[in-house]
Amino acid sequence: MPTADTTSNGPWDAKLQQFHGGQDWAHMDNFVEDFSVTTNAFGMPDSAMAAAIQSISHSHHYPPADQEPARSSLARFLWPAEFESEQNRLILGNGASELIDLVIRMAPKGTWKPGPFRTQYKEYERSARNNNFELLPVDSADKANVACLVNPCNPTGDYLELPDLKRWISANVLPGGYVLIDESMQPWHSAEFREHSLTSQHEYIRKMYDEYSISIFVMHSWTKLWCCTGLRLGSVVCPTVDHMRAIKKVQVPWSVNVVALAFLNAVVADETYLRKTWQMTPVWRRQTINLLQKMFPGWVFYGRDFLSWIWVDTGSETTAQKAVDLAHAAGVPVRSGRPGYNLPSFVRLAVREPTKVNVLLDAWKSL
């Protein structure tokens, strides 16, 4: 069962659902900025938002059953040079959440294991539990039938480069097993993100399947990079076309709606948006950490420089709860490390532009 927040889980049913950030804003009359989700600091890209709004006018028609042309556009974005040979392994979903659940349902039954970090995004575990997997602890020496690693890891900010990631897969997955690698936050890496991504490792993925029957899936939530959590957009790059077809066979029809498809088809062309994302995210992240370090010398800040959030250990449950409460009262909610992650001295805050950060820092002056 998801871990219950001892104070409140807001609109989440703590017994049935996994807590996520991003719900508070709608219930605040002084809302300024949402620091509780890991979305892009630049908000929804204008060009794609315009395409999404325009698509409402043909929303009295069903979405295309083959998800085109958005699916191909995303494939071209992922593999500018190798689009033709790789694109048939890609399928879109109603957020990564739909695909996480579909792939875990299809996976060989048995044991499930998380990535090696202190904690990770919890929907993988929730789906494994719902599908009656035996959950192995993070430090188990046993290989699992299904292993899920979030890379970069939300919330801890850990990141494995490809050689380490491949070593982890070999050491933790049984022959015939499934591996789900979540690269939702990986495109923040840099303009060279593709070369560092598992999506570029065609030969390796083929070899793992041919020689060990290990199926490696690369999951993406596109709702963070392109700041469109309300639209629900995700994808999975499957190890083979047959795996993609197996997902297609059970996926509900039209799971990605007209508006989300129009948004995706436009957003992949917005190079300016990505350039400013790569340029400014590490700068704002560093500035925010520097300011917080001055205010709270005892706090410890985790995560790679390019990430869209900061994972902070305040060193005290009471301080973290107060930080959450003060941020909430000032209209700048942050995510507590307590619900789901069970790390109550931690808070996670999104990287945001300096004027918004100032509101949060003002709120924390009385901490």
d(Cα 159, Cα 151) in Å, to the nearest integer? 5
Shortest gap between Cβ of 234 and ligand PLP (angstroms)? Answer: 4
Burial of 355 (0-12, 13-18, 19+ CB in 10 A): exposed
Establish if 182 lies at the interface with ligand PLP (CB under 6 A). yes
d(C-alpha 84, C-alpha 86), whole Å = 6
Q: Which is nearer to ligand PLP, 306 or 364 (CB)?
A: 306
Distance CA 142, CA 3 (A): 25
* C-beta atoms surrounding 278 within 10 Å: 16
Beta bridge partners of 348: 311, 335
**Contact window for ligand PLP (CB under 6 A) among 51-59, 90-98, 319-327, 338-346:** 90-98
229 touches ligand PLP by CB under 6 A: yes
- 62 DSSP 8-state letter: P
Residue 102 as a binder of ligand PLP (CB under 6 A): the answer is no
Compute the distance between CA of residue 201 and CA of residue 193 in angstroms, rounded to an integer: 13
Residue where the block lists tokens 């069962």: 1
**Binding to ligand PLP by residue 308, rule CB under 6 A?**
no
What are the tokens at 331? 């209209």
Contact flag: residue 221 with ligand PLP (CB under 6 A) = yes
Pick from 96, 104, 225, 327 the residue near ligand PLP by CB under 6 A: 96
Nearer to ligand PLP among residue 150 and residue 330 (C-beta) = 150
154 touches ligand PLP (CB under 6 A): yes
Interface with ligand PLP (CB under 6 A), residue from 51, 90, 150, 258? 150
Rule CB under 6 A: say whether 234 interacts with ligand PLP.
Answer: yes
Positions touching ligand PLP (CB under 6 A) are 20, 38, 95-97, 121, 150, 154, 182, 184, 221, 223, 229, 234
